């Protein structure tokens, strides 16, 4: 296994599909203050590997929002859309080692398979032993086996049987784009990320990422999945649920709301202090142990 220095390296990796909303602010704050409280680095990555979902100008809007709330990242910003060469190298390694295989199945053909935890379909293994006669590959999948166990710093012990609960998953899509699961694993390794603090909507992706790390000989970071912010209907704040851009007119209020959402109980008097003072308090008092151990919580109103 390839090794990395022990120093803390965290990251925030937003998808440029819309402006910085309250849920994004929560994820940014959680990853940032955990890194800074551990004297660590905080990297910024724009996860635009899924080109069709990228919204023009969204990345710039997110960066401006982060600066408005006083976040300072280390090093250059990484953009997945510029890293196809790195993903191709990892893909070729998986193929040469016999872990990847071509698949001719369409979504419709596996639509009656059981549901995985994240709502996708468990792949039934149709093309595992070779493409059906007369069929061409649409995508490439990784052959899975075994069970993944890991301890999440917020959500606790996790276990997933890959073959029965997930099935062989896509690493090269039918449209020729590398899948998120492969891209994020390569990105985290290349950046030396040691700690991944992100929203609990990605908790069900973690077993896949740990499995790929093992196949590629990469170390596994420590994981902490924060509760995601929902609207009144219980839906995750996102572009699809028309989440509004977080109000930056008084950034102190929104940032304090995000810190409070994460169970850190900041004093109300900080609302009248400069952002720098809020940052100092949050770094000095941050604890993952106080983050609520749940996947979803309702966002405060008016933020």
How far apart, in whole angstroms, are the C-alpha atoms of residue 31 and residue 25? 10
The domain that holds 29 is classified in CATH as 3.40.50.620
Residue 158's pLDDT is 97
The pLDDT tens digits of the residues spanning 288-297 come to 999 999 999 9
**Strand-pair category, 147-152 with 78-79:** unpaired
The answer for residues whose C-beta is within 8 angstroms of residue 172's C-beta and 6 or more apart is 91, 100, 139, 140, 178, 179, 182
Tell me, yes or no, whether 119 lies in a domain: yes
pLDDT per residue over 204-233, tens digit each? Answer: 999 999 999 999 999 999 999 999 998 876
- Residues of the chain by 3-state class (helix, strand, coil), percent to 5: 35, 20, 45
Q: Is residue 178 part of a domain?
A: no
pLDDT (tens digit, 9 = 90+) per residue, 62-85? 999 999 999 999 999 999 999 999
> Domain check: are 15 and 43 in the same one?
yes
pLDDT value for 135: 86
Q: Which is more confidently placed, 288 or 234?
A: 288
pLDDT of residue 119: 73
**Is the domain of 35 the same as that of 154?**
no
Residue 194 and residue 293 share a domain = yes
227 and 242 in a single domain? The answer is yes
Please identify, among 172, 197, 228, the residue that sits at the C-terminal boundary of a domain: 172
Rounded to 5°, angle at Cα 6 from 5 and 12: 90
Q: Based on the domain organization, do 154 and 37 belong to the same domain?
A: no
Q: Is residue 109 part of a domain?
A: yes
Q: Is the pLDDT of residue 239 over 70?
A: no
Asked whether residue 75 falls in the same domain as residue 98, the answer is no
Give yes or no: residues 287 and 236 share one domain: yes
Pick the last residue of a domain from 119, 147, 172. Answer: 172
Using 50, 70 and 90 to split pLDDT, how confident is the model at 146? Answer: very high
Instruction: Tell me the average pLDDT across 6-30.
Output: 94
Which one has a higher pLDDT value, 17 or 301? 17
The confidence band for 1, taking pLDDT boundaries of 50, 70 and 90, is very low
Q: What's the whole-number average pLDDT of the chain?
A: 92
% of the chain residues with pLDDT over 70? 95
Please report which confidence band the pLDDT of residue 91 belongs to, taking 50, 70 and 90 as the band edges.
very high
Using 50, 70 and 90 to split pLDDT, how confident is the model at 117?
Answer: confident
Q: Within this chain, do residues 263 and 202 fall inside the same structural domain, yes or no?
A: yes
CB atoms closer than 10 angstroms to residue 160? 21
Show which of 139, 172, 205 is a domain's final residue: 172
Same domain, 193 and 241: yes
Residue 90: inside a domain: yes
Q: What is the mean pLDDT of residues 178-205?
A: 97
In a domain, 179, yes or no: no
- What residue numbers bound the domain in which 135 lies? 85-172
pLDDT band at residue 2, thresholds of 50, 70 and 90?
Answer: very low
pLDDT tens column, 37-55 = 999 999 999 999 999 999 9
Contacts of 250 (CB under 8 A, 6+ apart): none
The whole-number pLDDT of residue 242 equals 66
Region of 219 please: left (phi>0), alpha (psi -120 to 50) or beta: beta
Write the CATH number for 133. 3.90.800.10
Residue 93's pLDDT band, with cuts at 50, 70 and 90, is very high
Q: How many domains does the chain have?
A: 2
| Position 244 pLDDT exceeds 60 | yes
Number of CB atoms found within 10 A of residue 135's CB: 14
């Amino acid at each position: 296994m390839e090794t990395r220095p022990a120093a803390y390296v965290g990251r925030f990796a937003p998808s440029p599909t819309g402006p910085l909303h309250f849920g994004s602010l929560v994820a940014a704050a959680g990853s940032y203050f955990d890194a800074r409280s551990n004297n660590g680095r905080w990297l910024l990555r724009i996860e635009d590997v899924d080109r069709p979902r990228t919204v023009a100008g969204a990345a710039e809007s997110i960066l401006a929002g982060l600066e408005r709330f006083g976040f300072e990242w280390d090093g250059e910003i990484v953009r997945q859309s510029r890293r196809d060469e790195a993903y191709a190298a990892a893909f070729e390694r998986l193929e040469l080692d016999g872990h990847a295989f071509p698949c001719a199945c369409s979504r419709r053909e596996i639509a009656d398979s059981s549901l995985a935890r994240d709502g996708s379909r468990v792949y039934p293994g149709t093309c595992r032993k070779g493409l059906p006669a007369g069929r061409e590959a649409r995508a490439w999948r990784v052959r899975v086996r075994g069970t993944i166990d890991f301890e999440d710093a917020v959500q606790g012990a996790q276990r997933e049987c890959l073959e029965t609960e997930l099935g062989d998953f896509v690493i090269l899509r039918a449209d020729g784009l590398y899948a998120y699961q492969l891209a994020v694993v390569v990105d985290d390794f290349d950046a030396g990320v040691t700690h991944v603090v992100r929203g609990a909507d990605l908790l069900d992706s973690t077993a896949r990422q740990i499995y790929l790390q093992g196949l590629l000989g990469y170390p596994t970071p420590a994981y902490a999945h924060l509760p995601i912010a929902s609207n009144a209907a219980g839906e995750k704040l996102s572009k699809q649920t028309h989440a509004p851009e977080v109000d930056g007119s008084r950034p102190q209020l929104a940032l304090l709301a995000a810190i409070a959402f994460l169970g850190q109980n900041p004093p109300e008097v900080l609302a009248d202090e400069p952002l720098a003072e809020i940052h100092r308090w949050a770094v000095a008092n941050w604890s993952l142990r106080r983050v609520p151990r749940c996947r979803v919580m309702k966002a405060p109103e008016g933020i």
